[in-house]
């Protein structure tokens, strides 16, 4: 709606500009000569003028000059100018009389009329060129301002993220010391519970780990997946049916942290993972620097697991920032199953 309103304003502004130009020029003609006023003839002339103006400013300049095809632009502009002069001359000598439209007296020959039309067309070509340059400059300035605003917002977001990270560093040391203490106290009584505490400690340490330039080793991300699955197996007495397989060499590859875990958490939140005939399928394939991550699970129709992940929308935004045009995420939400396929050019 707002775009339509903006376009309407532009059309009205252009219409008023052409109307003002016509009134100005025809007023001078009426004052300085005895020519009579013929609205139909004037309208046809200004339609030709406008056609030349917009052909140059909306077609030739953007498609040729703006793409640095200067020679082709010059040839096309000369061709359009010649066509304009021919149409204007034909309008005065043949078309207007044929349509019974009165024309002002013309003391010039056909060739002189064509040359005067070239002169007239040159004026509108220069006018349209100035209009295109002005509009292009304003557009570039708006784009620069938008980029500057986006940069300021990104810097503000980064500052907030850094502050949040610094705040998060207040408690982790206490948390890990507490988990180590609990591990030491629980181990003599229950090795299984102690193992759970150790897995939780590793999971928390990875989640709070300061990554390198926004990325971590893919092997660390995979270990985090294994730890998350192991913790949940302890919770459910190793009754969860999970088929996790890795193909390819994942060494020396780096990835955005806490991305893959989002899709696994989603499976635990919504999936029915206790059916041996329909296990949760997780596949990770690394071919050179291309990663394919696949999950497939049956849906649970009862209570869902509460997820503590960062969420699919947030994951998409992070992927858009770090892997623009280098990833593809396909989600298949069917009545009984849910499938996710993520491919990334690392």
- Give the 3-state secondary structure of residue 193: helix
pLDDT class for 293, splitting at 50, 70, 90? very high
pLDDT tens digits, 7-36:
888 888 888 888 888 888 878 877 776 666
Please compute the mean of the pLDDT values over residues 260-268 and round it to a whole number. Answer: 90
Q: What is the pLDDT of residue 309?
A: 45
SS3 content of the chain, % helix, strand, coil (to 5): 65, 15, 25
Q: Are 85 and 114 in contact (CB under 8 A)?
A: yes
Q: What is the pLDDT of residue 1?
A: 58
Q: What is the pLDDT of residue 291?
A: 95
- Tell whether the model's pLDDT for residue 212 goes beyond 60: no
Q: Are 308 and 272 in contact (CB under 8 A)?
A: no
Report the candidate in 270, 218, 266, 277 with the shortest Cα–Cα distance to residue 246. 218
pLDDT tens digits, 231-242:
888 888 889 999
Domains of the chain are: 10-158 (no CATH), 209-345 (3.30.565.10)
pLDDT tens digits, 79-135:
999 999 888 888 888 887 777 777 776 666 777 888 888 888 899 999 998 889 988
Q: Are 280 and 273 in contact (CB under 8 A)?
A: yes
- Tell whether the model's pLDDT for residue 40 goes beyond 80: yes
Please compute the mean of the pLDDT values over residues 198-211 and round it to a whole number. Answer: 69
Please compute the mean of the pLDDT values over residues 175-184 and round it to a whole number. Answer: 64
Q: Are 250 and 218 in contact (CB under 8 A)?
A: yes
Rounded to 5 degrees, what angle do the CA atoms 160, 322, 313 make? 70
- Give the 3-state secondary structure of residue 99: coil
Report the candidate in 286, 279, 296 with the shortest Cα–Cα distance to residue 340. 296
Least confident stretch, 24-38, 128-142, 145-159, 260-274: 24-38
Q: Report the share of the chain in percent with pLDDT over 90.
A: 19
pLDDT tens digits, 51-74:
899 998 889 888 888 888 888 989
pLDDT class for 211, splitting at 50, 70, 90? low
Average pLDDT, the chain: 82
Q: What is the pTM of this model?
A: 0.49
The DSSP bridge pattern shows strands 280-287 and 327-333 to be: unpaired
């Amino acid at each position: 709606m707002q775009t339509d309103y903006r376009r309407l304003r532009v059309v009205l502004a252009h219409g008023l500009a052409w109307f003002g130009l016509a009134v100005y020029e025809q007023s001078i003609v009426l004052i300085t000569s005895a020519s009579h006023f013929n609205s139909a003839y004037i309208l046809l002339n200004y339609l030709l003028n406008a056609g030349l103006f917009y052909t140059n400013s909306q077609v030739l300049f953007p498609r040729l000059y703006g793409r640095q095809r200067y020679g082709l632009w010059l040839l096309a502009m000369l061709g359009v100018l010649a066509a304009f002069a021919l149409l204007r001359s034909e309008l005065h000598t043949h078309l207007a009389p044929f349509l019974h439209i009165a024309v002002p007296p013309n003391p010039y020959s056909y060739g002189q009329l064509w040359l005067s039309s070239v002169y007239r067309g040159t004026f509108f070509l220069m006018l349209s060129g100035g209009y295109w340059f002005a509009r292009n400059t304003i557009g570039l300035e708006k784009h620069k301002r938008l980029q500057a605003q986006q940069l300021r917002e990104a810097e503000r977001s980064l500052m907030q993220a850094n502050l949040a990270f610094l705040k998060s560093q207040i408690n982790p040391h206490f948390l890990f010391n507490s988990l180590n203490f609990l591990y030491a106290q629980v181990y003599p009584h229950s090795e299984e519970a102690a193992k759970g505490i150790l897995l939780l400690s590793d999971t928390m340490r990875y989640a709070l780990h300061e990554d390198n330039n926004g990325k971590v080793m893919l092997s660390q991300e995979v270990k985090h997946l294994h730890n998350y699955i192991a913790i949940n197996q302890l919770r459910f007495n190793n009754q969860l049916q999970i088929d996790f397989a890795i193909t390819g060499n994942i060494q020396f590859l780096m990835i955005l942290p806490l991305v893959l875990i989002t899709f696994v958490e989603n499976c635990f939140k919504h999936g029915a993972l206790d059916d041996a005939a329909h296990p949760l399928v997780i596949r990770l394939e690394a071919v050179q620097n291309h990663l394919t991550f696949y999950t497939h699970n049956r849906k649970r129709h009862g209570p869902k697991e509460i997820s503590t992940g960062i969420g699919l929308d947030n994951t998409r935004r992070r992927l858009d920032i770090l892997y623009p045009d280098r990833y593809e995420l396909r989600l298949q939400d069917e009545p009984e199953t849910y499938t996710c396929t993520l491919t990334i050019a690392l």
